[in-house]
Amino acid sequence: MSITMKDIAAKLGVSESTVSRAINNKPGVGEDTKQKILNLARRYNYQPNLLARNLARQESNMIGLILPDISSLFYSEVTRAIQDIATKHGYQVMVCNTDSDEKRESAYIEWLQGNKIAGIIFLGNGLANNKIINLGLSGYPIVLANRLVEEVMLPSVIIDNNTGAFEATKHLLERGHKRIALINGPKDNLTAQNRFRGYREALKEYNLDYDPSLIINKDWSRECGYQGFLELLNLEEPPTAIFAANDLIAVGVIEAIKMGGYLIPEEIAVVGFEDTIVTSIIEPPLTTVAQPMYELGANSAKKLFSLIEDEDIEENIEILTSKLIVRKST
Amino acid sequence: MAKVTLKNIDKIYPNGFQAVYDANIEIQDKEFMVFVGPSGCAKSTTLRMVAGLEEISGGELYIGDKLVNDVAPKDRDIAMVFQNYALYPHMNVYDNMAFGLKLRKFDSSEIDRRVKEAARVLGIETLLDRKPKELSGGQRQRVAMGRAIVREPKVFLMDEPLSNLDAKLRVQMRAELSKLHERLQTTTIYVTHDQVEAMTLADRIVVMKDGVIQQIDDPITLYNQPTNMFVAGFIGSPAMNFLDAKIEARGDKLVLTGTGFDLTIPAKMSQAMKELETYVGKEVVFGIRPEDIMDPAFVETNENVDTVEATVEVIEPMGSSIHLHLSVGERTIVAIVDPQSEAKVGDVMKIAFDLKKMHIFDAETEEAII
């Protein structure tokens, strides 16, 4: 068991508050006494009791991260970045999975605040609800990462999905493809809608009308990529290129293409979206739109620490753009 | 659309601080109601309780006929507009108005209808493809309004939405808000510290101070018949002048007397005489608005007018009028006089009070007597 302030005080015959002042470099302790205390603390490897210190200061060296589900590759990459920045600032990250349940989110907010957590990052896709708005209005440090808010300006870092989809489709068009299919997430999903818009805008730039039969809306899974490609094969004129709206869909598409004995990219080209770890596992390596996941996490955390440390924020809303990474599938 | 009713609403924070005391307000369907008061008067807190951003500590809140104390904010059918709105720089105007509906999974044809209708009402139909950086400050403000309008709420709640704009734009947007309310006829609660904004926009105004409602009335009544010294001093610019005084009976006349002035209350003001009789010998506060003090050279009638002597301290020519800062006894008062007035700094001059327009307050309670 390590030595406590009380032990040091007893050994040197001084009061506990004198030991505390010496260790925390506060005035009111004679130089000789201070040196004796510090020497003893060093010799016995004194470690401050952080829990007790934070209790006394009514603050903690923790930040909260509220997200839908850390098991998603996207969220875990963002979380990693947040933790890296937090560590540099001497903070720990408390991760709270909500499964997009508003009640759980509310409960976490209350719990984090009750435990004097220094600030919270809200990571996710939905709208910020009133509880978050109220937190922001009250001056409590919060940052929204990829989460939108209608009523007020809250410090945010957001990935622009639209331009990524535009670049992916444009890349296929530049490779000479004219029949480009889009296998997308659910029709009513905002991210899916944005990716569809980027796709359509690229076709428009090349004076091509979009063909509704080439658009498939399912969900974001590998299975849907697989099924989606089989559906496209039934068309009278099947596509020569597939834009898969995320990497998992792309994996499913590639599996289906290989099952049919087609060659990638000679017969069918594939582009994914996200640049998660699967893109380097799959064969051929996937051309994909890299979402700046690490940057999303790192910049959100930097913003939060600026707020916690009462520094000015350069941009209240920071937009990150996606970048096309060309590999072997196109 | 709906009326909003606050019944005996209290707000008490966990640390025991009471921010709002027994608020009773009935906002009619389609009404434009303004909450006004100095900072810290709890006008925003009251608005936030209606929004569901703050919990209600006591009392009942109704939207329409429905008690909503325990209804989740998102189910209250309200839309808020704050001064500090966010337009996303990577989205065009259409998307900036539509994303909330998209995330709430509205049907895309319904979203399209609502966004286009709001854009038409706001006169920004030609801007739908533009990005925020291509818009002027006023256009951006309209997009933020549009985002609230597309929700087609029963009630708009606006918390100082214009305070980020420069003075000229604020005046312009004020007029636009008025027109917008005419068109949409949506019940609106609007919070401001700016009494000019309150007077020009409101059907009725709630004046608040330290969490207590002082008066609820239409702008003209509030101006002409303030119920106490706080309202009298808060509404109107330059503010109403206050002079400590005493009521004295001299023969059959009542005289309002203070340091440096004696004003005989005209016999014609019999109702006022009656109210003031019970105050004979007591301390009161005499209140008169700057525009009800005149340079006697420009007064056509002596009826209901009495004069006092004053020294001119400062002259502020405003073009259409002159603001005179005058000392009467030990107090300084402001008068708005005819632009032709020849008053000069240092002049000792007679000034005329229009006593028909005077206000008398109980010095102790600060409540209006007349």
CA–CA min distance A261, chain B (Å):
39
Fold match between domain B4-234 and domain B241-362: no
- Most B CBs within 10 A among A151, A197, A291, hence the mutation to make, goes to A151
**pLDDT for position A121:** 98
**pLDDT for position B200:** 94
pLDDT tens digits, residue range A10-39? 888 888 888 888 887 778 888 888 888 888
What residue has token string 């609502």? B114
Q: When comparing pLDDT for B104 and B290, which is higher?
A: B290
Shared domain for A108 and A257, answered yes or no, is: no
Q: What single string gives the DSSP state of each residue in B90-136?
A: TS-HHHHHHHHHHHTT--HHHHHHHHHHHHHHHT-GGGTT--GGGS-
Report yes or no on A310 lying in a domain. Answer: yes
AA identity, residue B129: D
Summarize the confidence of residues A204-219 as an average pLDDT.
Answer: 94
What residue has token string 């702008």? B219
- Most A CBs within 10 A among B45, B48, B53, hence the mutation to make, goes to B53
- Residue B168 near chain A (CB below 8 Å): no
Which range of residues forms the domain containing residue A199? 161-290
- Residue B20 near chain A (CB below 8 Å): no
**pLDDT for position B298:** 82
| Region of poorest pLDDT, from A41-55, A143-157, B286-300 | A41-55
Q: When comparing pLDDT for A142 and A50, which is higher?
A: A142
β pairing state of A317-321 and A323-325:
unpaired
CATH number for A22: 1.10.260.40
Q: Which residues contact A2 (CB under 8 A, 6 or more apart)?
A: A44, A45, A46, A47
**pLDDT for position B299:** 79
Report the alpha-carbon distance of residue B209 to residue B207 in Å, rounded.
7
Q: Does the pLDDT value for residue B267 go beyond 90? A: no
Question: In which band, very low, low, confident or very high, does the pLDDT at A68 lie, cut at 50, 70 and 90?
Answer: very high
Summarize the confidence of residues B59-68 as an average pLDDT.
Answer: 96
Q: Does the pLDDT value for residue A144 go beyond 70? A: yes
**pLDDT for position B140:** 92
Q: Does the pLDDT value for residue A124 go beyond 90? A: no
Question: In which band, very low, low, confident or very high, does the pLDDT at A130 lie, cut at 50, 70 and 90?
Answer: confident
> DSSP 3-state assignment of B40?
coil
How far, CA to CA in Å, does A204 sit from each of A209, B128, B243?
7, 18, 74
- Nearest CB to A152 within list B85, B102, B105: B85
CA–CA min distance A108, chain B (Å):
17
Residue of A nearest to B96 (CA): A150
The answer to whether A288 and A250 have CB atoms below 8 angstroms apart is yes
- Residue B209 near chain A (CB below 8 Å): no
Shared domain for A175 and A146, answered yes or no, is: no
AA identity, residue A310: D
Report yes or no on A225 lying in a domain. Answer: yes
- Residue B81 near chain A (CB below 8 Å): yes
- Residue B53 near chain A (CB below 8 Å): yes
CA–CA min distance B111, chain A (Å):
12
CA–CA min distance B85, chain A (Å):
4
- Nearest CB to B105 within list A149, A153, A188: A188
Shared domain for A175 and A276, answered yes or no, is: yes
Report the alpha-carbon distance of residue B112 to residue B270 in Å, rounded.
65
Compute the mean pLDDT over every residue in chain A, rounded to the nearest whole number: 90
Summarize the confidence of residues B172-198 as an average pLDDT.
Answer: 93
Shared domain for A170 and A156, answered yes or no, is: no
Q: Does the pLDDT value for residue A47 go beyond 80? A: no
User: For chain B, which residues make up each domain, given as ranges?
Assistant: 4-234, 241-362
Summarize the confidence of residues A193-204 as an average pLDDT.
Answer: 92
Shared domain for A85 and A231, answered yes or no, is: no
Q: Is B145 exposed, middle or buried (0-12, 13-18, 19+ CB in 10 A)?
A: buried
Domain count, chain A: 3
- Residue B80 near chain A (CB below 8 Å): yes
Radius of gyration (C-alpha) of chain B in whole angstroms: 25
The residue length of chain B stands at 370
Residue of A nearest to B92 (CA): A162
Q: Do A193 and B102 touch (CB under 8 A)?
A: yes
Q: Do A154 and B86 touch (CB under 8 A)?
A: yes
Shared domain for A186 and A227, answered yes or no, is: yes
- Nearest CB to A153 within list B53, B86, B90: B86
Compute the mean pLDDT over every residue in chain B, rounded to the nearest whole number: 93
Window 297-326 of B, Cβ < 8 Å to A = none
> DSSP 3-state assignment of B149?
helix
Shared domain for A94 and A39, answered yes or no, is: no
Window 93-112 of B, Cβ < 8 Å to A = 99-100, 102-105
**pLDDT for position B108:** 86
**pLDDT for position A55:** 59
Question: In which band, very low, low, confident or very high, does the pLDDT at A142 lie, cut at 50, 70 and 90?
Answer: very high
State the CB neighbour count (10 A cutoff) for residue A294. Answer: 15
If one looks up domain B241-362 in CATH, what number appears? 2.40.50.140
Shared domain for A82 and A202, answered yes or no, is: no
Q: What share of chain A is helix, strand, coil (3-state, %, to 5)?
A: 45, 15, 35
CA–CA min distance A257, chain B (Å):
33
**pLDDT for position B24:** 98
Shared domain for A299 and A156, answered yes or no, is: yes
Residue of B nearest to A125 (CA): B103
**pLDDT for position B327:** 95
- Residue B73 near chain A (CB below 8 Å): yes
Edge-first strand order for the sheet with B331-337 is B293-294, B348-354, B305-317, B322-328, B331-337
Q: What is the number of CB-based contacts under 8 A between chain A and chain B?
A: 57
Report yes or no on A268 lying in a domain. Answer: yes
**pLDDT for position A52:** 65
| Region of poorest pLDDT, from A311-320, B202-211, B220-229 | A311-320
Q: State phi, psi for A318 to the nearest 5 degrees.
A: -110, 125
Shared domain for A202 and A95, answered yes or no, is: no
Residues of B in contact with A153 (CB under 8 A): 84-86
Domain B4-234 classified CATH 3.40.50.2300? no
Q: Which residues contact A299 (CB under 8 A, 6 or more apart)?
A: A157, A318, A320
Q: Does the pLDDT value for residue B65 go beyond 90? A: yes
Residues of A in contact with B54 (CB under 8 A): 134
Edge-first strand order for the sheet with A323-325 is A215-217, A180-184, A241-244, A269-274, A287-290, A323-325
For residues B311-348, one letter each, b for 16 or more C-beta atoms within 10 angstroms of the residue's C-beta and e for the rest, the string is ebeeeeeeeebbebbbebeebebbbbbeeebebeeeee
Per the structure block, which two tokens stand in for B276? 């003031």
Q: State phi, psi for B343 to the nearest 5 degrees.
A: -55, 140
pLDDT tens digits, residue range A100-113? 888 899 999 999 98
**pLDDT for position A51:** 60
**pLDDT for position B1:** 66
Residues of B in contact with A125 (CB under 8 A): 103
State the CB neighbour count (10 A cutoff) for residue B168. Answer: 9
Report yes or no on A329 lying in a domain. Answer: no
Q: Is B75 exposed, middle or buried (0-12, 13-18, 19+ CB in 10 A)?
A: exposed
Q: Which residues contact A75 (CB under 8 A, 6 or more apart)?
A: A67, A68, A69, A123
Report yes or no on A327 lying in a domain. Answer: no
Q: Do A130 and B53 touch (CB under 8 A)?
A: yes
Report yes or no on A260 lying in a domain. Answer: yes
Residues of A in contact with B147 (CB under 8 A): 150
Q: Does the pLDDT value for residue A1 go beyond 60? A: no
Interface of A with B (CB under 8 A): 125-127, 129-130, 133-134, 137, 148-154, 156, 158, 160, 162-163, 188, 190, 193, 316-317, 319
Residues of B in contact with A134 (CB under 8 A): 48, 53-54
**pLDDT for position B85:** 86
Report yes or no on A330 lying in a domain. Answer: no
Shared domain for A280 and A209, answered yes or no, is: yes
pLDDT tens digits, residue range B37-50? 999 999 999 999 99
Summarize the confidence of residues B295-307 as an average pLDDT.
Answer: 80
| Region of poorest pLDDT, from A126-140, B43-57, B137-151, B280-294 | A126-140
Per the structure block, which two tokens stand in for A257? 């293409």
CA–CA min distance B105, chain A (Å):
6
pLDDT tens digits, residue range A261-287? 999 999 999 999 988 888 878 899 999
CATH number for A153: 3.40.50.2300
- Nearest CB to A319 within list B80, B89, B105: B89
Shared domain for A153 and A298, answered yes or no, is: yes
